[in-house]
């Protein structure tokens, strides 16, 4: 992969994130999805279906799953919590980690209503939507920690945050391309998070293709590395992952919102090969 990671670019990205507002993020990217959950062809339905399918295929097993760059979101671990006994959520920003903790505490402090999304995942699992309360309780039970993460560090989590063998599974949604100033930095960040995963562990990566920016607060525009499918596949290969499946969703005209120029989203299921295991 061409070019070198840019340290000044990374610092500039961190600066952009100083004004990230979790509530605006939720309003821009999560709330609008609620009314479209009944439609088979909607972005959130597609994401939840991809995650459901990945976790129900029976090949992803183990004890510990880590979600990298959770933001204030939990949709990405709603299927995972039925398969893994421990889930660690992570984010670069304290505001996002605090938001996650408010939801986990379940004391009415969280303003983010994930109920429709929990109901949708229950449906995908063949359960009654009314069982969403059980799913919420299960999720709150399996999340053991909410930790700081920086994908640009060779060791993205604190030293002894994970067992020495690493996590059994990693999920990361819309994080690497939104945190990296260029392709070389994206590629290196993927290698960093890959170091957290045990050999033969699975990675589920969701991200944007050919996106240039998104808004996370009034006037807070964050640049995004515009990736294509080939670059995602090359980066996975270079970092020792074997691709199981890459799926692409094209955002429809009526789903496009002014908060980003996203048009296509990828979902990757990959497995870490034994050969290039990097010592953490
Ligand atoms: C677009 S949000 C995605 C949030 C969530 N995964 C979702 O799908 O809703 C991007 C996230 O990347 C996080 N981020 C930014 N810089 C990062 C870094 N250097 N390391 C890890 N995460 C970072 C941000 O704090 C933000 O929560």
Q: How far is the CA of 71 from the centre of ligand 1 (A)?
A: 5
Percent of residues, the chain, with pLDDT higher than 90:
80
Return phi, psi of residue 48, to 5°: -65, -35
State mean pLDDT over 209-225.
Answer: 87
Contact 227, 205 (CB under 8 A): no
CA-to-CA distance for 264 and 250, rounded, in angstroms? 4
Q: How confident is the model at residue 69 (pLDDT cuts 50, 70, 90)?
A: very high
State mean pLDDT over 24-31.
Answer: 89
Helix residue ranges per DSSP H, the chain: 7-16, 22-25, 31-34, 43-56, 94-105, 115-124, 132-142, 176-179, 183-194, 229-238
Q: What pLDDT shows up at residue 276?
A: 53
Query: Which residues lie with the beta carbon below 6 Å from any ligand 1 atom?
Result: 17, 20, 69-71, 73, 76, 91-93, 96, 149-152, 173-175, 178-179
Residue 99 reports pLDDT greater than 50: yes
Structural domain spans, the chain: 7-272
User: Mean pLDDT of all residues in the chain?
Assistant: 93
Which atom in ligand 1 lies closest to the alpha carbon of residue 13?
A: 16
Q: What pLDDT shows up at residue 84?
A: 98
Q: How far is the CA of 19 from the centre of ligand 1 (A)?
A: 13
- Number of Cβ atoms within 10 Å of the Cβ of 256: 12
Q: What pLDDT shows up at residue 38?
A: 82
Strand order through the sheet with 241-250: 143-148, 86-91, 64-68, 167-173, 197-209, 264-272, 241-250
Q: How far is the CA of 129 from the centre of ligand 1 (A)?
A: 29
Residue 259 reports pLDDT greater than 80: no
Q: Are strands 221-223 and 213-215 parallel, antiparallel or unpaired?
A: antiparallel
Q: How confident is the model at residue 45 (pLDDT cuts 50, 70, 90)?
A: very high
Residue 270 reports pLDDT greater than 60: yes
Lowest mean pLDDT across 71-80, 96-105, 196-205, 216-225: 216-225
Q: What pLDDT shows up at residue 53?
A: 98
Task: Kindly report, residue by residue over 118-160, the tens digit of the pLDDT.
Answer: 999 999 999 999 999 999 999 999 999 999 999 999 999 999 9
Q: What pLDDT shows up at residue 280?
A: 41
CA-to-CA distance for 117 and 44, rounded, in angstroms? 9
State mean pLDDT over 224-253.
Answer: 95
Residue 258 reports pLDDT greater than 80: no
- Six token digits for residue 152: 């640009």
Q: Kindly report the protein residue whose alpha carbon is nearest to atom 19 of ligand 1.
A: 150
Nearest to 99 by CA among 107, 111, 87, 88: 111
Q: What pLDDT shows up at residue 255?
A: 72
pTM for this one? 0.95
Q: Kindly report the protein residue whose alpha carbon is nearest to atom 27 of ligand 1.
A: 71
Residue 6 reports pLDDT greater than 50: yes
- Could you tell me which residue, 111 or 259, shows the higher pLDDT? 111
Domain 7-272 has CATH 1.20.58.220: no
Q: How far is the CA of 92 from the centre of ligand 1 (A)?
A: 7
């Amino acid at each position: 992969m061409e070019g070198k990671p840019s340290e000044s670019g990374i610092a500039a990205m961190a600066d952009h994130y100083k004004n990230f507002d979790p509530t605006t993020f939720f309003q821009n990217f999560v709330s609008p999805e609620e009314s479209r959950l009944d439609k088979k062809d909607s972005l959130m339905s597609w994401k939840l279906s991809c995650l459901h399918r990945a976790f129900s295929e029976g090949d992803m097993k183990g004890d510990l799953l880590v979600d990298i760059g959770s933001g204030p979101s939990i949709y990405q671990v709603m299927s995972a919590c039925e398969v893994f006994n421990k889930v660690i959520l992570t984010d670069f920003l304290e505001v996002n980690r605090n938001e996650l903790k408010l939801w986990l505490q379940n004391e009415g402090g969280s303003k983010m209503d994930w109920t429709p999304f929990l109901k949708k995942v229950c449906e995908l699992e063949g359960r009654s939507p009314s069982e969403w309360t059980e799913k919420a309780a299960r999720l709150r039970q399996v999340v053991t920690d909410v930790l700081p993460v920086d994908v640009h560090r060779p060791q993205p989590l604190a030293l002894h945050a994970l067992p020495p063998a690493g996590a059994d599974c990693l999920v990361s949604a819309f994080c690497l391309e939104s945190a990296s100033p260029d392709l070389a930095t994206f590629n290196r960040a993927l290698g960093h998070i890959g170091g957290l995963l045990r050999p033969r562990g699975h990675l589920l990566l969701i991200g944007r293709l050919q996106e240039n920016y998104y808004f996370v607060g009034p006037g807070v525009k964050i640049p995004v590395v515009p990736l294509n499918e080939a670059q995602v596949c090359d980066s996975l290969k270079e970092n020792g992952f074997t691709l199981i499946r890459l799926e692409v969703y094209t955002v429809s005209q009526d789903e496009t919102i002014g908060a980003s120029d996203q048009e296509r989203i990828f979902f990757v299921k990959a497995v870490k090969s034994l050969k290039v295991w990097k010592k953490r």
